[in-house]
């Protein structure tokens, strides 16, 4: 068994994530695996202005402390190649501490320069990633090969952390440069997760996502065994990929509603030709809604259904790609309603997935039963 490892330097800021290979030696016997990742960001995208921001930051740090031990070596298999990725999340905790303290300084002091305030609010983060490749055969691949697994790992971590604690992880504006002009950009925004988290804090929504134990989410996700698969095979995989598609979207769009509906129908096993009522019944059952909650679900889901139908059948008033509200102020109300409807759909998908996690289920099996009536029973 040959073990091939590559040292990486990844620099993440709002614009660029650069990937360099420090070890380009493909000869047999080479076994060096150290990766250094330097992260620079414009804040953490959390609710710093919320009245409960100290509690929120504390919860975020607690989750990241769990990530240090819970998200252990991450394994992938690609053909005959075994890949092991290890990431130390402990520096995230220090960055959150720095950010929290710096915010207090920025609020209380009027003597800080712009540069000092920027440094305080946008702390630099460093953490180590270790990537190891193992194969029985000689690897004749180029440098870009390892970057694929780094990207896949970031997608997995993004989903897992945000299902455990919505909005805690944001990878928007990350670019992976594998050299030779090969650049991959991650547009994973946690905005929709963050909006759902606001609803949870406000306590004003029956369909707000929850906070789950990270270990439970990691165990569940590993059981799905998605690996590096790029085409969904199960209903839950379809839902996960749909969530990621929404998170990759730049702005609220009617397509978000399509993705959300696709995810819901995939989770709840809705088949072509089945009525709207079946979906309402199945969601109500999984989420254990009472009659009032079921009524609210039906009303909000109907709004989603109407948006989807209008878009698919030509009734939707499509927006210009510019989406310029200065030139057309009527877009403001359109965007406001669209964001409300699409966010509800996103929350409902996340909450449904979280319910599966809590139950330890990798999917739902829907059964329709029919039984015959005997003559004596028929006459009763």
Per residue in 67-78, pLDDT tens?
888 988 999 999
Give the predicted TM-score (pTM) of the model.
Answer: 0.84
Q: Angle 70-75-79 (CA atoms, 0-180°, nearest 5)?
A: 170
Question: What average pLDDT does range 98-105 have in this prediction?
Answer: 53
Residues 6 or more apart whose Cβ sits within 8 Å of residue 13: 39, 40, 41, 173
Say what the pLDDT of residue 286 is: 96
- Rounded distance, CA 186 to CA 39, Å? 14
Query: What pLDDT band is residue 6 in, cutting at 50, 70 and 90?
Result: very low
Question: What average pLDDT does range 208-229 have in this prediction?
Answer: 96
Question: What average pLDDT does range 42-67 have in this prediction?
Answer: 76
In the predicted structure, residue 128 carries a pLDDT above the cut 90: no
DSSP category for residue 180: T
The domain limits of the chain are 2-190, 235-359
Q: Within 10 Å of residue 233's Cβ, how many Cβ atoms? A: 11
pLDDT digits (tens, 9 = 90+) for 336-352: 888 999 999 999 999 99
Residues 6 or more apart whose Cβ sits within 8 Å of residue 222: none
pLDDT digits (tens, 9 = 90+) for 26-41: 444 433 333 333 334 4
- Rounded distance, CA 5 to CA 130, Å? 8
- Rounded distance, CA 131 to CA 198, Å? 36
**Distances from the Cα of 301 to the Cαs of 81, 193, 314, in angstroms?**
44, 19, 20
Share of the chain above pLDDT 90, in %: 37
Say what the pLDDT of residue 109 is: 56
In the predicted structure, residue 57 carries a pLDDT above the cut 60: yes
Q: Which stretches of the chain are DSSP H helices?
A: 53-70, 90-108, 114-121, 144-164, 191-202, 214-224, 235-247, 254-267, 276-286, 291-312, 331-359, 375-378
């Amino acid at each position: 068994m040959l073990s091939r490892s590559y040292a990486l330097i990844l620099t993440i800021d709002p614009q660029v994530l650069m990937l360099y290979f420090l070890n380009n030696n493909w000869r047999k016997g080479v076994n060096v695996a150290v990766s250094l990742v330097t992260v620079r960001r414009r804040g953490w995208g959390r609710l710093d202005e919320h009245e409960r921001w100290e509690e929120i930051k504390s919860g975020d740090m607690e989750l990241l402390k769990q990530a240090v031990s819970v998200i252990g070596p991450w394994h992938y298999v690609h053909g005959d190649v075994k890949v092991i990725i290890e990431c130390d999340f402990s520096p995230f905790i220090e960055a959150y501490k720095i950010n929290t303290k710096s915010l207090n300084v920025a609020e209380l002091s009027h003597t800080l320069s712009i540069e000092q305030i920027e440094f305080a609010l946008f702390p630099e983060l460093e953490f180590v990633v270790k990537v190891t490749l193992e194969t029985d055969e000689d690897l004749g691949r180029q440098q870009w090969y390892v970057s694929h697994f780094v990207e896949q790992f970031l997608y997995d971590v993004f989903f897992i952390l945000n299902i455990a604690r919505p909005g805690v992880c944001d990878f928007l504006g990350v670019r992976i440069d594998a050299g030779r002009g090969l650049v991959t950009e991650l547009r994973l925004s946690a905005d929709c997760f963050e909006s759902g988290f606001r609803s949870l804090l406000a306590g004003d929504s029956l369909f707000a996502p929850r906070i789950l134990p990270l270990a439970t989410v990691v165990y569940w996700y590993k059981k799905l065994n998605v690996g590096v698969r790029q085409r969904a095979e199960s209903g839950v995989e379809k839902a996960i990929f749909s969530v990621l598609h929404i998170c990759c979207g730049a702005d609220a769009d009617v397509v978000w509603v399509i993705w959300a509906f696709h995810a819901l129908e995939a989770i709840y096993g809705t088949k072509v030709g089945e009525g709207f009522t079946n979906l309402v019944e199945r969601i109500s059952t999984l989420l254990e809604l009472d009659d009032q909650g079921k009524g609210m679900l039906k009303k909000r889901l109907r709004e989603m259904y109407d948006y989807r139908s209008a878009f698919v059948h030509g009734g939707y008033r499509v927006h210009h790609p510019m989406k310029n509200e200065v030139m057309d102020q009527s877009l403001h109300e359109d965007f406001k309603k669209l964001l409300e409807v699409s966010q509800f759909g996103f929350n409902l998908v996340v909450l449904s997935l979280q319910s599966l996690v809590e139950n330890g289920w990798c999917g739902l099996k829907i059964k329709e039963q029919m039984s015959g009536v005997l003559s004596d029973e028929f006459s009763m």
